[in-house]
Structure 1
Amino acid sequence: MSSRTSPIGRQITIRRTVARDAKRLTRLVRGSGAYAGQYASAVAGYRVGPDYLEAHRSFVAVGGEEDGGRVLGFYSLILAPPELDLLFVADEAQGRGIGRLLVAHMQSEARAAGIDRVKVVSHLPAEDFYHRVGAVRTGTALANPPAVPWDRPEFEFRISPE
């Protein structure tokens, strides 16, 4: 577990997920404003299960007292092949630097695992975010109907050794 201060001065703790986080993370994914409207099919029925959390390096960002200790975001790193599978920040917590903290944490985890590159298939509205946090565009993931009927940008984080 690591505590950090967000760029706006709020205390954030990043900890490994546990099975009891699964329902809360499922609600965060399904309730994401980034997946409203035309993008809703991508998360309709999506479930983050305890088995998924156990199988991958998944971490949550938990707010301090001012946030009531709520889960504000999470990510999941798949090690083989290396991919940032999920990265979500609660709608009400966006713009506070939590996504940037989670990406930095993910890069540290990848580095510790001996990984030098991590792939990301981005949601279209998140493309600018990935550019801002240092990911490099590498291609396009083609549509996969019916759940994802649109092409998505593909990125890569290049993990430098410390």
Structure 2
Amino acid sequence: MSEITVRRATAADSKRLTKLVRGSAAYRGPYAVIVDGYRVGGAYIEHHPVHVAVDADDRVLGFYALLLDEAELDLAFVADSAQGLGIGRLLMAHMTGEARAAGLDAVRVVAHPPAEEFYLRTGARRTGTVPAAGRIHWDRPELSYDLTDAAAAAA
């Protein structure tokens, strides 16, 4: 695989990020309702720290969106074709670095149930469960990345 970079997304990335979300194999079957009609809009990208992993040809391999005011990871996706290549781990390391630089002590994650193990492997810890509500008919794991100096020293 060619060199991978993580850069700040721009509104021009909107269609490619939306396509990645809607096409994710992780959201087929009962989970499809979550991404049905979902759009990663240009205004959203411009307002929030959204970062995208791209290869040397600017092919989108994955992205994440961090909500600084809420100290929450809002979106995190890796293209199906890039699964298992370390893109997710790269994005989470980047995200925690950006969150620390912004002065956050922790980042909350309300995870897609099949993604819980990924977040645990990348340093998050389980903090609870978010009950089903609205269009989401299943409970979701709640996790947190602890960004304090004490957490870094223990790692």
Q: Please confirm whether the aligned pair reaches a TM-score higher than 0.5, indicating the same fold.
A: yes
Q: Identity over aligned residues, as a percent?
A: 59
Structure-1-length-normalised TM-score: 0.89
Gaps of 5+ in 2: none
The correspondence for 1:70, drawn from 56, 59, 68, is 59
Aligned length in residues: 150
Gaps of 5+ in 1: 1-8
1:35 aligns with 2:23: no
SS of the aligned residue for 1:51 comes to helix
The correspondence for 2:53, drawn from 42, 50, 61, is 61
Match of residue 6 from structure 1: none
Distance 1:35 1:46 in 2: 12
Q: Letter of the 2:96 partner, please give it.
A: Q
SS of the aligned residue for 1:75 comes to strand
1:152 aligns with 2:140: yes
The correspondence for 1:84, drawn from 73, 77, 92, is 73
Match of residue 14 from structure 1: 6
1:97 aligns with 2:89: no
Match of residue 128 from structure 1: 117
Q: Could you say which structure has the higher helix fraction?
A: 2
Output the aligned Cα RMSD.
1.2
Structure-2-length-normalised TM-score: 0.93
Quote the offset at 1:10 in angstroms.
4.2
- Following superposition, which runs of at least 4 residues in structure 1 exceed 2 angstroms of deviation? none
